[in-house]
Structure 1
Amino acid sequence: MESFSPLTAALGGILIGLASAVLWLGNGRIAGISGIFGQLLPPAQTVVWRLVFLVALVAATALTALAFPQIGVGGVEPAQLAAPPAAWSVPTPIWLIAAGLLTGFGTKIGNGCTSGHGVCGLARLSFRSLVAVAVFFSVAILTVTLTGIV
């Protein structure tokens, strides 16, 4: 995190909030990525807006990375995948698959993800989202403490 900049963090937060507000006001939907993605397979009746939102999310990230490489993670150097702790001797692909599955399972039992609860739920003053965000942060702090990965 040696390249942290409050300006880029604030800009990112504003853009996330703006995207969430546009989706809520324009479509009446909460911008919870796990819910949006989770309803693609099997296709729901509302698959078009979900695809448009996800494609725009990825495209905007890619365009920003190309246009402004200096604001990415680590400055001008390309971002690296999070490798497992060396002492654990777990291959990186297995580490990433396990992390993805645990994240998906967590969003399913938590009835939402960090974007849905943390951005949209807290903005709506949802008590359930407040509890979920407290759990997210607690587990994140514990994970960083145990693994040493920031």
Structure 2
Amino acid sequence: MTEFTPLASSIGGAMIGLSAVLLMAWEGRIAGISGIAGRLLPPYRDSAFRSRFGFVIGLVAAPLLVMAATGNPIMQTVSANLPLMAAAGLLVGFGSVYGNGCTSGHGVCGLSRLSVRSLVATLTFMTTAVVTVFVVRHLIGA
């Protein structure tokens, strides 16, 4: 079962919101992870490459820093089924391109700007997540 962590979740949410505000203030950019990560690849080698690279490195380094500071391992269960993981990655990538953004861009930044498109996208993400969890936990039994 997933552990209920309201304090840690609230602090994490506040940090995500703060990072989105700071990125908008300093770079004039929306903190959509798919757009930031996608523009690390060619042909996007411009003056903002270093800031995008730093943002992605921060995403990767954050759990490692928490682990180093607390001594507690960051536990994540990931499927060992490589074809399933590849298909899931392709579907997520396709979805973020087709939906003109990812959960962070629409859910954090788009909703705060009162974007109707982001509201529809976020409702779609959340509904799909709820259905997926229900199917995996209660119908498949994984």
Q: Which runs of 5+ in 2 are unaligned?
A: none
Query: What percent of counterpart residues are identical?
Result: 47
How many residue pairs get aligned? The number is 137
Scaled by the length of structure 1, the TM-score of the pair is 0.82
2:19 aligned partner:
19
Q: Which runs of 5+ in 1 are unaligned?
A: 73-77, 84-90
Distance 1:70 1:60 in 2: 13
Structure 1 residues 146 and 16, CA gap change in structure 2 (3 angstroms): same
2:63 aligned partner:
61
Scaled by the length of structure 2, the TM-score of the pair is 0.87
Distance 1:29 1:62 in 2: 26
Distance 2:65 2:35 in 1: 24
1:88 aligned partner:
none
4+ residue runs over 4 A deviation: 69-72
Bigger relative contact order, structure 1 or 2 (CA pairs below 8 A, ≥6 apart): 1
Residues 9-67 of structure 1 show CA distances to partners (whole Å, capped at 9, x for unaligned) of 10110111111111011111000000001112114123221111111221223201322
Structure-to-structure mapping, 1:109-120, within 5 angstroms: 109-120=98-109
RMSD: 2.0
1:38 aligned partner:
38
Alignment match of 1:140 (pick from 113, 116, 129):
129
